[in-house]
Structure 1
Amino acid sequence: MTDALGELSAAGVAVWLDDISRERLTAGGSHTALSKLVDESHVVGVTSNPTIFAGALGGSDDYDVQLHDLKVRGVSVDEAVRMLTTYDIRWACDVMRPAFDASDGVDGRVSIEVDPRLADQTEPTIAEAKQLWWLVDRPNLFIKIPATRAGLPAITATLAEGISVNVTLIFSLERYRAVMDAWLAGLEQAKANGHDISKIESVASFFVSRFDTEIDKRLEKIGTPDALALRGQAAVANARLAYGAHLEVVNGQRWAALKAAGAKPQRPLWASTGTKNEAYPDTLYVEQLIAPNTVNTMPEKTMKAFADHGKVPGDTITGNLQSAEMAIDGLRAVGVDYDDVVEFLERDGVAKFDASWKELLAGVQAKLEQA
């Protein structure tokens, strides 16, 4: 039997799980357990978001004992959510600690997101990031900060505090370049502040499948043969061009000075990699986005699909940058407004996570009342 996930790892793609729950942490030898996925599926990282937590807490009784204790203490629903989620993240960090140690801190990371209601507020985001870092208290934590306009200075300020950051909700190439600028500035300030910058990690989460979903909708509305022929190409092309932008930065002089001081590069992370259109291969956003020093965070369904029938033909990004540029140009040529698409996706992404956070709060409130 082939080991497709092992081959993917050998090609330079870190395999991360896009899911977390108390059930995964307590499942022991079950095939769904995080520890089992680490041992058998080459998983070296974990990401979470408000939607994942809303689902985990809403459909499980694994949190009941902690919920009872929180109710006895009379905590607010906001504090209860923070205690429940940081407990899971801290536990997951401990499960992933061997991968963290084995990779000199590059992998073995677990991500927790700042309150999405703060997406357009810089100072509260910084304060929230610092509090989460303190609450979890594990060196292999990532604080997820959205790449909104208000998020950019928060990213710099958080890194400057010596805190590792997963920048999330990136859709546009222009915003990704701004994210890399914010990351470099954060490392420069961290160095000036006396932090050991070799200990500060960062990834930049570029969302994939949502891009195709929105672009395809617009292409079908246009309806011409040229427009319809471009369906299913935009997301991969966009991500490939993001990798090209990453290469430009890590080959530049500004990064060279930080590298000489011990810093590690910010890796592109491919997020939202489960295909939403059943007409597309279920491994599309894994097979077409293979390159060294990248991360692919997958839902378990996608991970299992790739383990079963995924292929690793080698680097599928670097040699395809020109064709990716042509695909994005083709979108504009048939009338798709790229800037409008990425602006919409950012707003929509923030709104969806905000709705999930409110769902999480409501669910915890109901469980506190029942406890």
Structure 2
Amino acid sequence: MTTPIESLIQTGTKVWLDSIDPQLVDSNFKLGVSGATSNPVIVSGLIDSGKFDEWIEELTSQGKDANDIAWIITDRLVQRAQDVFMPVWERTEGNDGYVSFELDPLLEDPDRDMPHEERVKHYIELGKYWGLGRPNRMIKVPATRAGIDALEELCAAGITLNVTLCFTMRQYHAAREAVWRGAQRRDSLDGFKSVYSIFVSRVDVYTEKHLPDLSDAAQGQLGIVNAKNIWKDNADFWADKNLKLQQELIFASTGTKLPSDPPWKYVAAFAGDGIETNPPKTNDQVQESGKSFERQIDQMPPQEVLDELQAKVDYADLEKVLMEEGIAKFADPQKALLSLIESKKAAV
């Protein structure tokens, strides 16, 4: 009998796990999940669990500071997940089986107020340091101004990129153009792979708060419509490039935020193409649903809903608000992580 996740994969969707918890990576791999992503929130939660206190003790005894410990543990966890998914990467010849590694979110910390060129320089240096020589690791770079300005150099150097914190078509275009410029500087395009993480549920949280006058039919639809529009644009752009590997969208932030929404709302909406990076709870709920998924990626809401969203949504404001929130959601947990490690170091 075909399981719900298997039926989703059969539509053409790649399912990844939004976690690098070793136990969850192993269990989800058995379900057919073919990749994973990480971020500071995930790493902070794992270290807070106490499962890796021995690593902290080991690294503390070596004289490592909290920042070093945070990144060494992140590297170890990502590498372990890479080992699990390496057979997928080998079987698909580099088209799947990746694990994403997020670069330091404190580069964008407003409290640091780092100059733009310095941020770009650090993104390039860190991307090369953590990315080179690791064939099924994607380096996550945010679609901030500095992040986008680092993409061409990173791609030209052979780094496989996951451009994250994308909310709008403007960000996606800027990121894609920079990545493509870098790709064309490579000696060969055979190993060129890039993905663009379009955040979904946060967009619908934005409309609930900032566009309360949307009709019932339109409220809760912008996340899907926006991501599908970018998906179509992405498919059209790469169609004539004759590349060996797919340049794909990741549908991120696919866990529903409203109790009234079924937990598979976004999972079902994007079935058929691209990559869904789902929180562990969402994958569990999908698997328990008993549902059989069918292709919906190219289906849109009624035209009157599309017209209403087109008329009422200010994408510049949406991007500004969600980027500020997104940077805080990454920077604050990183600060909390460093503080947590300091407290654990003190107890050694």
Corresponding residue for residue 316 of structure 2: 339
Corresponding residue for residue 281 of structure 2: 301
Count the aligned residue pairs: 339
Corresponding residue for residue 247 of structure 1: 235
**TM (normalized to structure 1)?**
0.86
* Identity across matched positions, percent: 32
Cα deviation for residue 331 of structure 1 reads: 2.8
Q: Secondary structure at the match of 2:198?
A: strand
Measure, in 2, the Cα distance between the counterparts of 1:338 and 1:115. 27
Give the helix-richer structure, 1 or 2: 1
Corresponding residue for residue 100 of structure 1: 89
* Greater mean deviation of Cα atoms: 360-369 or 118-127: 118-127
Corresponding residue for residue 30 of structure 1: none
Q: Secondary structure at the match of 2:185?
A: helix
2:44 to 54, 74, 78: 54
Measure, in 1, the Cα distance between the counterparts of 2:290 and 2:306. 26
Corresponding residue for residue 11 of structure 2: 11
- The answer as to 2:311 corresponding to 1:330 is no
2:8–2:293 Cα contact (<8 Å) kept: no
For residues 53-76 of structure 1, the C-alpha deviation after alignment (integer angstroms, 9 at most, x for no partner) is: 11111122x212221121112112
2:37–2:101 Cα contact (<8 Å) kept: yes
1:19–1:52 Cα contact (<8 Å) kept: yes
Corresponding residue for residue 343 of structure 2: 366
Cα deviation for residue 111 of structure 1 reads: 0.7
Measure, in 1, the Cα distance between the counterparts of 2:10 and 2:215. 37
Unmatched 5+ residue regions in structure 2? 109-115
Corresponding residue for residue 236 of structure 1: 224
2:141–2:164 Cα contact (<8 Å) kept: yes
Measure, in 1, the Cα distance between the counterparts of 2:320 and 2:185. 29
Measure, in 1, the Cα distance between the counterparts of 2:235 and 2:176. 11
- The answer as to 2:99 corresponding to 1:110 is yes
Q: Residues 102 and 346 from structure 1, CA distance in 2 versus in 1: closer, same or farther, beyond 3 angstroms? A: same
- The answer as to 2:334 corresponding to 1:353 is no
Measure, in 1, the Cα distance between the counterparts of 2:276 and 2:88. 16
Q: Residues 326 and 115 from structure 1, CA distance in 2 versus in 1: closer, same or farther, beyond 3 angstroms? A: farther
Measure, in 1, the Cα distance between the counterparts of 2:248 and 2:255. 20
- The answer as to 2:69 corresponding to 1:77 is no
- The answer as to 2:143 corresponding to 1:162 is no
Cα deviation for residue 128 of structure 1 reads: 0.9
Cα deviation for residue 144 of structure 1 reads: 0.3
For residues 332-367 of structure 1, the C-alpha deviation after alignment (integer angstroms, 9 at most, x for no partner) is: 53x442220122101210121011111111111111
Unmatched 5+ residue regions in structure 1? 28-32
- The answer as to 2:274 corresponding to 1:282 is no
- The answer as to 2:196 corresponding to 1:204 is yes
- The answer as to 2:178 corresponding to 1:182 is yes
Corresponding residue for residue 269 of structure 1: 250
Q: Residues 313 and 299 from structure 1, CA distance in 2 versus in 1: closer, same or farther, beyond 3 angstroms? A: closer
Q: Residues 105 and 171 from structure 1, CA distance in 2 versus in 1: closer, same or farther, beyond 3 angstroms? A: same
2:7–2:294 Cα contact (<8 Å) kept: no
For residues 211-244 of structure 1, the C-alpha deviation after alignment (integer angstroms, 9 at most, x for no partner) is: 0011111232x4xxx5344211111111110111
Cα deviation for residue 36 of structure 1 reads: 2.5
Measure, in 2, the Cα distance between the counterparts of 1:34 and 1:189. 35
Cα deviation for residue 84 of structure 1 reads: 1.0
1:241–1:324 Cα contact (<8 Å) kept: no
- The answer as to 2:34 corresponding to 1:44 is yes
Measure, in 2, the Cα distance between the counterparts of 1:11 and 1:45. 17
Measure, in 2, the Cα distance between the counterparts of 1:155 and 1:313. 35
1:219–1:228 Cα contact (<8 Å) kept: no
Q: Secondary structure at the match of 1:106?
A: coil
For residues 145-185 of structure 1, the C-alpha deviation after alignment (integer angstroms, 9 at most, x for no partner) is: 00112111211211110111111000001111222212211
Q: CA RMSD in A?
A: 1.9
Q: Residues 310 and 218 from structure 1, CA distance in 2 versus in 1: closer, same or farther, beyond 3 angstroms? A: farther
Measure, in 2, the Cα distance between the counterparts of 1:115 and 1:297. 20
Cα deviation for residue 2 of structure 1 reads: 3.7
Measure, in 1, the Cα distance between the counterparts of 2:290 and 2:232. 24
